[in-house]
């Protein structure tokens, strides 16, 4: 007899039968008729699953049953493994505040998945386990998987507008454009961009907004002044070293850093090389995380209202569960610039 398997079997069955993991998951969870999957396909899946002695995740189902007895919805937050821990904390702070202020309680479950591999968690995108799902940190591969399948559970995407699913978003293109506008008003002509390698839609839009608006205003952004690195403190330090090596003595007068932890990692590198911020170079970061206020110098940042976005995600799910939302909705939050020492003064006016 073959060994018993769980989540890994979903993918192996899908590959063996030439089906999507989502279809296999639906059939194995007994929802094939409801989702209009043909009897032939259902039989093929069930026969194959029986042949490998597939066993469902009994623990997750038990949790779901217990929670039903408590009459509380169970909402899963799908979060990529090794994602920015600061953002994780901010998101759940918003969730907690929503439950306290709106008095709409739920069991919240953190469901980890690997970036680019959401399909391997297809089994759990189901009403068999949860009442609602919030999907975060999706790659293009993950998005393609979600859009190619149909699920029987309310799903909300964080910062990913969609015609098929509800979402809570900000305008990432505008974020980049606002920084370019700021640099233009500050009189900068030669600027740089420090980014991170993840090819997420959010990153692409911020970069595009910044670079295209710089071009419109005649601000020079040379190819050598666009540096990609790992989205971490160490990644920011390494990107700053690379920028200095590329530019030599002809340094840019301003830099936009797409991740605040990278900006904080870059600050001591610039100081080591005798580059004073903001005298020699101004910096704007993206995120406005708590550490930005306490770095030396403190960082001017684009504020991403993550706490408000997490509240929007929760509101959408509750509205769907209560029948108040019949169609997909997109809730937009505004972004703003928080002025600190690295660029601009504390009152939000521009330094002369």
Residue-wise pLDDT for 116-152, tens only, equals 889 888 888 888 788 899 998 888 889 999 998 888 8
Strands of the 166-169 sheet, one edge to the other: 107-113, 74-80, 132-135, 155-158, 166-169, 330-332
Contact indicator for 252, 191 with CB cutoff of 8 Å: yes
Distance CA 271, CA 196 (A): 22
Same domain, 138 and 33: no
Question: Mean per-residue pLDDT for 287-297?
Answer: 91
- Is the same domain home to 111 and 190? no
CA distance 75 to 96: 13
User: Residue 12 domain-assigned?
Assistant: yes
Q: What confidence category does residue 26 fall into, taking pLDDT thresholds of 50, 70 and 90?
A: confident
Which is it for strands 300-303 and 282-287: parallel, antiparallel or unpaired?
Answer: parallel
User: Which of 39, 56, 73 is a domain's end point?
Assistant: 56
Pair (227, 136) in one structural domain: no
Tell me whether residue 333 is in a domain: no
**Does residue 86 lie in a domain region?**
yes
Look up the CATH number of the domain holding residue 20.
1.10.260
On whether both 46 and 108 belong to a single domain, the answer is no
pLDDT above 70: residue 59: no
**229 found inside a domain:** yes
Mean pLDDT (the chain) is: 85
Report the number of distinct structural domains present in the chain: 3
Residue 130 domain flag: yes
In angstroms, the CA 67 to CA 61 distance is 10
**Domain check: are 209 and 137 in the same one?**
no
Give yes or no: residues 297 and 226 share one domain. yes
Residues 176 and 166 in one domain: no
Count CB atoms within 10 A of the CB of residue 331.
Answer: 16
Inter-axis angle of helices 39-51 and 21-28, to 10 degrees?
Answer: 80
Question: Does residue 92 sit in the same domain as residue 185?
Answer: no
**57, 124, 307, 327 from 153: Cα distances, Å:** 18, 10, 23, 14
**Can you give the CATH number for the domain in which 139 is found?**
3.40.50.2300
185-234 confidence digits (pLDDT tens): 999 999 999 998 666 788 899 999 999 999 999 998 988 899 999 888 99
Residues 131 and 199 in one domain: no
Task: Indicate the pTM of the whole model.
Answer: 0.76
**pLDDT, position 231:** 84
Per-residue pLDDT tens for 76-98?
999 888 777 778 888 889 999 99
Q: Check residue 349 and give its pLDDT.
A: 44
Judge if 133 and 28 occupy the same domain: no
Report yes or no on 329 lying in a domain.
no
Residues 95 and 150 grouped into a single domain: yes
What share of the chain has pLDDT > 90, as a percent? Answer: 46
Residues 176 and 280 in one domain: yes
Residue 344 maps to a domain: no
Domain holding 150, by residue range, is 59-170+305-321
Give a yes or no: residue 124 inside a domain: yes
Q: What does the alpha-carbon distance between residue 78 and residue 122 come to, in Å, rounded to a whole number?
A: 11
């Amino acid at each position: 007899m073959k060994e018993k398997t769980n989540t890994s079997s979903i993918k192996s069955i899908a590959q063996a039968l030439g089906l999507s993991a989502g279809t296999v998951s639906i059939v194995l969870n007994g929802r094939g008729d409801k989702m209009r999957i043909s009897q032939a396909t259902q039989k093929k899946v069930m026969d194959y699953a029986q042949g490998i002695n597939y066993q469902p995740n009994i623990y997750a189902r038990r949790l779901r049953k217990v929670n039903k007895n408590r009459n509380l919805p169970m909402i899963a937050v799908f979060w990529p493994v090794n994602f920015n821990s600061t953002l994780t904390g901010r998101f759940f702070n918003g969730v907690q505040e929503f439950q306290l202020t709106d008095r709409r309680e739920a069991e919240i479950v953190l469901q980890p998945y690997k970036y680019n591999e959401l399909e391997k968690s297809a089994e759990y995108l189901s009403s068999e386990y949860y009442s609602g799902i919030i999907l975060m940190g999706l790659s293009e591969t993950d998005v393609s998987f979600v859009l190619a399948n149909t699920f029987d559970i309310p799903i909300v995407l964080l910062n990913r507008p969609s015609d098929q699913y509800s979402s809570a978003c900000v305008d990432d293109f505008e974020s980049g454009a606002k920084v370019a506008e700021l640099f233009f008003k500050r009189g900068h002509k030669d600027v740089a961009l420090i980014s991170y390698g993840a090819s997420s839609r959010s990153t692409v839009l911020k970069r595009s907004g910044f670079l295209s608006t710089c071009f419109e205003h005649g601000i020079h952004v040379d190819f050598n002044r666009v540096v990609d690195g790992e989205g971490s403190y160490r990644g920011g330090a390494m990107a700053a070293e690379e920028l200095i090596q590329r530019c030599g003595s002809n340094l840019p007068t301003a830099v936009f850093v797409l991740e605040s932890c990278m900006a904080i990692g870059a600050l001591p590198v610039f100081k080591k090389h005798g580059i004073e911020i903001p005298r020699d170079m101004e910096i704007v970061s993206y995120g406005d995380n708590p550490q930005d206020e306490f770095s030396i110098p403190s960082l001017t940042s684009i504020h991403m209202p993550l706490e408000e976005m997490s509240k929007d995600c929760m509101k959408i799910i509750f509205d769907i569960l209560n029948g108040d939302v019949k169609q997909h909705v997109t809730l937009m939050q505004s972004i703003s610039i928080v002025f600190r020492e690295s660029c601009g003064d504390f009152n939000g006016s521009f330094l002369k």
